[in-house]
Every structure is written in structure tokens, then in C-alpha cells.
Amino acid sequence: MSTQAQDLTVRKSVVVDCSPEHAFETFTSRIYTWWPFETHSPADERPEDAIFEPGVGGRVYDRMASGEEHEWATVLEWEPPRRFVIDWHVTPGNPSTELEVRFLPEGGATRVELEHRGWERYGDDARDTFASYDSGWETVLRPFVEAALKSS
Amino acid sequence: MAYRNAMDALGDPTRRAIFERLREGAVSVGEIADELPVSRPAVSQHLRVLKEAGLVRERRDGTRRLYRVDPDALGELRDYFDDFWTQALASFKAEAERERRNE
């Protein structure tokens, strides 16, 4: 493990005026309706669909019009409508970051708490996979993260 | 946005290779040119782009200039995701509440 002085974890919270059930479902099975593909997609073009399979081991991925698919994540923990954890593949087959989202009842609404963590996993290996990178933001992210962590 | 520049800068395979080399420690233009199939002027040009993107720092060591990865790049990465999730959650909230109103 690399030693890390900086806390890289991103923590966010937002109150949504709906039930935890509806918030959970919107975040997962209807991810395509709100995900900001314009700024954050593994491919250059907008995918035709994004699929969040429910349950532990479920895949999160997008599908292009051509039928090509890009893996985003795998479900690690699944407790609808309270929380889920996914490991977000920055590149397939390599260490992932972890995203936990919790849905807490608050009055008649829902507080959604998000934690994106695990960047320190990128400190150690991966030189040998460097040559296999192709285009897309993810492929750029990985060496960037590695380098930044190594240098800190 | 700094991170966007960083992504653009690392979009070039040669620059990624140079950046990768700098991970191992501070080096000069000549050392990079000796190790990679890239001319010195080209290495200098790539380093300039990496520097402008906030990924690489330069320091003088006597008559030599040495380049290394900028440790602040890590903070920029985190800031990028902080911004990203702010935007994504706003979009998520709007969608969740829109659907609910239509029920």
C-alpha cells in the first residue's frame, strides 16, 4: 500500500424531494436519464444507453449505437433502498475506485450521501498496462492518478 | 479548467510516455531524449505542454533544468471529481424530482 497524507475521498450530499425508494431507483436503474455524459463518458460519442444491473455482482456499463459496450463498475454491496457500493473501473481489469451512495430519509425527503474513494490503490502497479491505453477520458485518468500518487 | 488541460495534455501518447518517465524521478531533457525515440526539441515542446497543464514542474540544478511530476496534480484531480459530483448530483436531483412530479 502506498502511504497517503492527503485525503482524496470526495464526499457529497444532496437532499432530494422524493422517497428513498424513488431516489435509489433514479440513481441506479434510471442512471441514463441524469448522468452527465457530456463531460464524463469513457467514449467520445454519447452512448445509446447506460445499464445499472441490480444486485451484488451486477454490471454497470454503457452501450454505443454500434453495440460496443464500456464497463463502468461492478456492484459490491446492494441494499435497496438504503445504500449501494460499486467499484468503478477506471480501466477494465485494473484497480478500481469505490463509490458508496447512501439514501437516508429526512423529513419527507431523502438525503443522498456520496463517497468516492480508493484513489490510493493507483499508487502501486500498472506500468505494464500503460501501452494498452486507447482513447477516452478514463485512459487518460489512470496514468494521471498513478503519477500524482507516486509523486506525493 | 486545470484538469481538462491535464487530460488534453496526456491525450498524446508521447507526452504520456514522458510523463510516465518523470514518475521515476526528476530528469533532464537530454536524459528523456536518450531513453525515448524523441528528439530533444520535441521533448522540450512536450514538457512545455505538460508544464502548462500543471502536471510537471521544472527546477534548475546548476546549469541543468530538471523536470518532475507536480505533486499538486493530485489535488487538482480531487478537485475535478469534487466538481464532477456536484454537477452530477444536481442533474440527479432534478431528474428524481421531475419524475416524482409527473407521477
pTM for the structure as a whole: 0.63
CATH number, domain at A63? 3.30.530.20
Position A45 in a domain: yes
**Of A142, A118, A117, A138, which Cα lies nearest the Cα of A12?**
A117
Domains held by chain B: number: 1
- Is pLDDT of B61 > 70? yes
Q: Cβ of A146 and B23 within 8 Å?
A: yes
Q: Are B96 and A16 in contact (CB under 8 A)?
A: yes
Per-residue pLDDT at B30: 94
Q: Cβ of A148 and B74 within 8 Å?
A: yes
- Is pLDDT of B101 > 70? no
Q: Across the interface, which of A17, A22, A143 has its CB nearest the CB of B20? A: A143
Cell of A32: 441514463
Q: Which residues pair with A12 in a beta bridge?
A: A114
Q: Are A58 and A43 in contact (CB under 8 A)?
A: no
Domains held by chain A: number: 1
Position A5 in a domain: no
Which chain B residues touch A26 with a CB distance below 8 Å?
92, 95-96, 99
CATH number, domain at B14? 1.10.10.10
Per-residue pLDDT at B20: 74
Cell of B74: 493530485
Position A102 in a domain: yes
Domain that holds residue A116: 10-151
**Using one digit for the tens of pLDDT, what is the confidence trace for B3-58?**
556 666 766 778 878 887 887 778 999 999 999 999 999 999 999 998 988 888 89
Domain that holds residue B39: 2-102
Q: Which residue has the cell 457530456?
A: A38
Mutation site, B56, B68, B81, interface A, largest A CB count within 10 A: B81
Report ipTM (2 d.p.): 0.73
The residue type found at A56 is V
Q: Cβ of A17 and B100 within 8 Å?
A: yes
Rounded distance, CA A52 to CA A20, Å? Answer: 17
Helix ranges restricted to H, A4-136: 20-27
Closest CA–CA distance from residue A8 to any residue of chain B (Å): 6
Per-residue pLDDT at A93: 40
Position A2 in a domain: no
Query: Which segments in chain A show pLDDT lower than 50?
Result: 1-6, 91-95, 122-152
